[in-house]
Amino acid sequence: MTKRTVYALVLSLLAAVASAQDYPIVPVPFTSVAINGGFWQSRLATNRTVTIPFDFRKCEETGRIANFAVAGGLAKGTFKGKRYDDSDVFKVVEGASYSLQTHYDPKLDHYLDSLITLFAAAQEPDGYLYTIRSILKDSANIKDDQAGPTRFSYVAGSHELYNVGHMYEAAVAHFQATGKRSFLNVALKNADYLMRTIGPDKLIVVPGHQEIEIGLVKLYRVTKDKRYLDFARFLLDMRGRADKRPLFPDPAKTGQGASYLQDHIPVTQQKTAVGHSVRAGYMYAAMSDIAAIQNDKAYMDALLAIWNDVVERKQYLTGGLGARGHGEAFGEAYELPNDVAYAETCAAVANMLWNHRMFLLTGDAKYMDVFERVLYNGFLAGVSLEGDSFFYVNPLASDGKRKFNVGQAATRAPWFGTSCCPTNVVRFLPSLPGYVYATKGNDVFINLFLTNQSTVSVNGKPVQIRQETNYPWDGKVSVTVQPKQPQAFTMQLRLPGWASGKPMPGYLYEYVNTTAKAPVLLVNGKSVSYETENGYARVSRTWRPGDRLEWTLDMPVREVKANEQVTDDRHKVAIERGPVVYCAEGVDNGGQALSLVVPAGTAFRPQMQPDKLGGILSLSAQEAGKNVTLIPYYAWSHRGPNEMSVWFGQVKPTK
């Protein structure tokens, strides 16, 4: 282990200790969890070796990186792209910094140093950093790009604060990866400038696109400076407060309205999910941080109400959020169209960030059930198996002709004019190991089932845990526990909703047959009884080195029906197995998927196909003399544009 790796591990452990002061449950840092096999190893390797360099190359080719050099006077030229393009570069740096912590690469380390030199040069003397304004000044061109005629004059659309929020997250990740303060100092200088400019008795604004709030909390955690936390709270509390601030600018003049920006009423009064789904998800994640750190009941009550609204009325079976392309927004209750579903990949990331925080607040497995559904379906579909093409939009049906992917293609595209999704994928994947385990006192939570080797601190004592599984294709999970000496603690294994007869919390979706076989739990080969609490199977005992726990979850093929109020899914059925949602593609079904009918009780046969689509478990059945083949939803659109459907017409079986 190199000195850099040791240093990064120490910083990550310190960060975990700091988080124990707010969230009652502490996530095990991703640097302590090595994914060393199974379903996710190759995907994380692809992200490291393909997607990170690919995204950096695209940022170079499109002028996103050059903008910093031009803004800093290190190169000649003009601004290229959109006002929010700075954020894409920061997100890729964040993902690369995570990668450095687990797979040190001196070439990548040096490249990041060169980028940080550009960031520092682009930063104006007072701390302001926004390349479009530094290059174009207060000109007609900058107004045309909705950046506003002067600083902070159009925060509803300018992305000035959104961009630097991603910078803060990236700077903290880089500091934790390398111990260098070069990027962190740029971020702190910017945050300090903002706090001198914006606040009570100063300029009062709220960001049009939430994100800075999450970044400020991360600055607070790494510096222990409460000013950053207070500033994050201020920005949240000013939303919807026309009594305390002018409408700046008037949302009616933005073409979207205050609800689009979640600025229609104060955040503690919001009970339903409205507006732009990515902005909302980031805001809910930040509110969760505040609720935890400040033990704020009003924030928590609002979050619980909004979450219930989402899972009961506004979430796709794949975990996707955002029914409408216009405004990339939530629709009304039960408005969940399939072919024009937006379900942005960025919204999937925001949804996972929010649900993980809700778990850390409550210890309830239902939040990790939603996280897992998004992970294997709505999120994973967003990136190709090769790691170099992406979905911005994730519909649940396609005719293979309409260019749904932001108007560019009927399949994945390598890049977009607005490339928030490719750069969000690249920063989320390397952090995935950090969502597997968590601890609270004497309890160890196992939230995700994937092959890994980890070190978990239980009451200050290190415990090694090795997990082996072929999940999500197989429900058998083997966990070997290695404390240094016998130690009493409780293992809490998540009992997924799908394994106990519910596809998702609430009643938006239900299985046609709710009967479920009870999970089987063995310790050292012997069946043991366990208590179930908040969706977790609790096993309390004195664990000895080499103790082996085996957790077996039954994985039948399930028919899913939607609430009757979802008119687009009425009299239809979807098919799941374990955490994976399935779809039909025309290429496997004689060119047709949209017209497929699945009679009630159709017996699908699972078949592992290691050489198909990166290795999948497909489902096949005979229907009216024809073979029907289903594949995991995440794997669709790798064989060219063609028909696809998640929901199928259903008829009663004939006698």
The pLDDT-based confidence of 241 (bands split at 50, 70, 90) is confident
d(CA 232, CA 279): 15
Which of 142-151, 403-412, 479-488, 582-591 has the least mean pLDDT?
Answer: 142-151
pLDDT at 18 over 70: no
In Å, how far are 294, 523, 541, 603 from 488, measured between CA atoms? 32, 15, 6, 45
The pLDDT of residue 624 is: 77
Coil, helix or strand at residue 411: coil
Q: Is the pLDDT of residue 3 over 70?
A: no
Question: CB–CB of 424/392 below 8 Å?
Answer: no
The closest alpha carbon to 24, from 303, 291, 302, belongs to: 291
Q: What is the mean pLDDT of residues 228-253?
A: 77
φ, ψ at 552 (rounded to 5°): -115, 120
**Number of helices and strands in the chain (H, E):** 18, 23
Taking the C-alpha atoms of residue 103 and residue 378, their distance in angstroms, rounded to an integer, is 27
Q: What is the mean pLDDT of residues 424-451?
A: 98
Cis before 472 (ω within 30): yes
Q: Which of 59, 420, 421, 583 is catalytic?
A: 420
- Split at pLDDT 50, 70, 90, the class of 21 is low
- Yes or no: say if 467 and 451 are a contact pair by the CB < 8 Å rule: yes
Spatial separation of the C-alpha atoms in residues 62 and 86, rounded to whole Å: 12
Whether pLDDT at 12 is above 70? no
Tokens at 632, concatenated: 């995991």
What distance in Å separates the CA atoms of residue 30 and residue 167, rounded to the nearest whole number?
A: 20
3-state helix, strand, coil in the chain (%, to 5): 40, 20, 40
Q: What is the pLDDT of residue 244?
A: 63
What are the tokens at 652?
């009663």
Class of the CATH domain delimited by 437-552 = mainly beta
Sign of CA dihedral 18, 24, 30, 33: positive
What is the rounded average pLDDT of the residues 391-415? Answer: 97
Residue 455, Ramachandran bin (φ over 0: left; ψ between -120 and 50: alpha; else beta): beta
pLDDT one-digit tens code per residue, 503-537: 999 999 999 988 889 999 999 999 999 999 999 99
Angle CA(359)–CA(303)–CA(30) in degrees, nearest 5? Answer: 30
State the Cα–Cα distance between residues 133 and 60, nearest whole angstrom: 20
pLDDT of residue 123: 98
Residue written as token pair 């001198």: 196
Q: Largest Cα–Cα distance of the chain, in whole Å?
A: 80
Q: What's the rounded Cα separation, in Å, for the pair 296 and 280?
A: 19
Q: Is the pLDDT of residue 19 over 90?
A: no
| Average confidence score pLDDT of the chain | 94
Statement: residue 10 has pLDDT above 50: no
The mean pLDDT value for 141-147 works out to 89
Contacts of 278 (CB under 8 A, 6+ apart): 209, 322, 328, 344, 346, 347, 350, 420
Give the Cβ contact number of residue 626 at 10 Å.
11
- Give, in order, the Cα–Cα distances in Å from 581 to each of 365, 376, 568: 20, 8, 17
Residue 426 CB: number of other CB atoms within 10 A?
Answer: 30
- Residue ranges per structural domain of the chain: 36-238, 437-552, 557-651
Phi, psi of 568 (to 5 degrees): -70, -20
Percent over 70 (pLDDT), the chain: 94
User: What's the pLDDT band for 571 if we cut at 50, 70, 90?
Assistant: very high
- Please state, in angstroms and rounded to a whole number, the distance separating the CA atoms of residues 655 and 601: 12
Distance CA 245, CA 202 (A): 10
With a CB cutoff of 8 Å and minimum separation 6, the contacts of 654 are 599
Q: Please, what is the Cα angle at 427 between 422 and 428, to 5 degrees?
A: 100
Mark whether 420 is an active-site residue.
yes
Higher pLDDT, 529 or 426: 426
Helix extents (H) in 312-458? 345-362, 365-373, 420-428
61 is catalytic: no
Write down the catalytic residue from 160, 169, 213, 328: 328
Instruction: Dump pLDDT digits (tens) for 345-394.
Output: 999 999 999 999 999 999 999 999 999 999 999 999 999 999 999 999 99
CB 138 within 8 A of CB 125: no
Query: Among the listed ranges 110-124, 247-261, 332-346, which one has the minimum average pLDDT value?
Result: 247-261
Tell me if residue 91 falls in helix, strand or coil. Answer: helix
Exposure string (b/e) for 413-422, b if CB count within 10 Å is 16 or more? bebbeebbbb
Q: Are 171 and 112 in contact (CB under 8 A)?
A: no
